[in-house]
Amino acid sequence: MKTVHTSVMVEEVLAYLEPGRDDSLFLDCTLGEGGHTEAFLTRFPRLRAVGLDADEDILSRARERLSPLGDRFRGRHGWFDEFLQSYPLTERPDRILLDLGISSYHYDRSGRGFSFGAPEPLDMRLSPESGESAADILARRDEKELARIFYSYGEERYSRRIARAVVEERRKGRIGTARDFASLVWNAVPAGYRRGRIHPATRSFQALRIAVNRELERLEAALPAAVELLPSGGRIGVISFHSLEDRRVKTFFREKSGVCTCPPEAPVCRCGAVKVVEILTRRAVKPGPAECERNPPSRSARLRVAEKV
């Protein structure tokens, strides 16, 4: 099977999440086409893995790719936060990975409007059968809520102008395709903004996708559940691709590392900080120059790893 997506920082992830035992269990919470899991099962021949994905289509591709590894791999359909919060297996994983990036498959092959250059339905759901689509959100949210989504999830400076343009445009009819929405954003922002290094709709598309899939909510629920699930000495690695995700991972690891969060003027600690994890990456690990040149989408990737104590 020819894969569409190139997994990022594979060697770095393998080094930080090397199994504590040869026959332990590796949990890939965001399987995609299975690149990281394939690397782990190939490098560590007695390791077993469970891979999760909310998208049945991409999960079937991963199962096909990993079929030569036999029963060492098990694929599960579902959202990682829900799986971790109601963990259904009897064996606890020794290593957990969350790669929060969106697979190239979704941009190139899914037909769900992730790419703003495509005349595809503006859907953006990773699990197509669940929740509202991106087009639904544009059609139903009021102007204030739309502006909040674009600003909070996309850090879009022209969020109010774009929200106003959406409300005006939808009076004429539904904003139904990715290309329609990209064109709307293009026309809504100042001319100078269009000459930036990224397409002016990039942040708005990110914001819509995050809102549709509840990505930040799922991450915030998954992190404590994952750490709770790990045994002592178990490790969790998280790859993020934008500051909203990375900031949450960094803050969570810091809080769980026992750092006191009381104000400096407090005479005694009242926050009750308890050390639960040891942070293994003092700074986020970034891909090297060679990988960035070979795989440009990897440039924004950041890896953080912690070990449960």
Report pLDDT digits (tens) over 49-108.
999 999 999 999 999 999 999 999 999 999 999 999 999 999 999 999 999 998 888 888
Residue carrying structure tokens 């750490």: 227
- Quick one: tokens of 228? 């709770």
pLDDT exceeds cutoff 70 at 290: yes
C-alpha to C-alpha distances, 256 to 93, 171, 242, 271, nearest whole angstrom = 19, 48, 22, 12
The pLDDT score that the predictor gives to residue 265 is: 76
C-alpha 207/C-alpha 224 separation (Å) is 24
Least confident of 20-34, 198-212, 231-245, 251-265: 251-265
The pLDDT score that the predictor gives to residue 116 is: 85
The pLDDT score that the predictor gives to residue 47 is: 97
- Quick one: tokens of 273? 């900080």
* String of DSSP letters for 227-244: HHHSPTT-EEEEEESSHH
What's the whole-model pTM score? 0.93
The pLDDT score that the predictor gives to residue 228 is: 97
Report pLDDT digits (tens) over 216-260.
999 999 999 999 999 999 999 999 999 999 999 999 999 999 887
Among the listed residues 89, 104, 102, 146, the one whose alpha carbon sits nearest the alpha carbon of residue 3: 104
Q: Which domains does the chain have, with CATH numbers?
A: 10-106+216-308 (3.40.50.150), 108-213 (1.10.150.170)
Q: Are 93 and 21 in contact (CB under 8 A)?
A: no
pLDDT exceeds cutoff 70 at 280: yes
The pLDDT score that the predictor gives to residue 1 is: 62
